[in-house]
Amino acid sequence: MSVLPSFLDLGTTTPCAGQHAVFFPPVVAKEGDEERRAREARALALCRRCPVAADCLAWAVASDCGSGVWGGSTEEQRAAARPRSRRARTA
Ligand code: SF4
């Protein structure tokens, strides 16, 4: 995983500060689809009021950030967008 850019300032001032369990799936327990959707909805709501959301999303896409909610996007959404962005770079 890439080193986090300084603008993210995670753990201090962004809305995701101290919200690791909301932004990332549990490590030990298996998360069901309904639980995942509810957790992601809470994370996305926090991202919507984040002042660095656009930069965060750009960084997550550029870094191929696989897990968790970043910049108002879910892991699934970024994975779906990945082939399109790769095609655009090679065109
Ligand atoms: S956009 Fe979301 S994940 Fe990124 S810094 Fe803001 S609250 Fe955290």
| 24 part of a folded domain | yes
Residue 85 has pLDDT above 60, yes or no: no
The DSSP 8-state label assigned to residue 29 in this structure reads: S
71 lines ligand 1 (CB under 6 A): yes
- The predicted pLDDT at position 10 comes to 56
Alpha-carbon span 28 to 33, nearest angstrom: 16
- The predicted pLDDT at position 64 comes to 87
> Domain range holding 85?
6-90
E strands, the chain, in order: none
Backbone angles phi, psi at 66, to 5 degrees: -80, -40
4: exposed, middle or buried (Cβ count in 10 Å: 0-12, 13-18, 19+):
middle
Ligand 1 centroid–CA 38 distance in Å is: 17
| 17 part of a folded domain | yes
- The predicted pLDDT at position 86 comes to 58
Ligand 1 centroid–CA 32 distance in Å is: 23
- Total tally of structural domains belonging to the chain: 1
| 1 part of a folded domain | no
| 45 part of a folded domain | yes
Give the pTM: 0.82
**Of 11 and 68, more confident:** 68
In ligand 1, which atom is closest to the CA atom of 46? 7
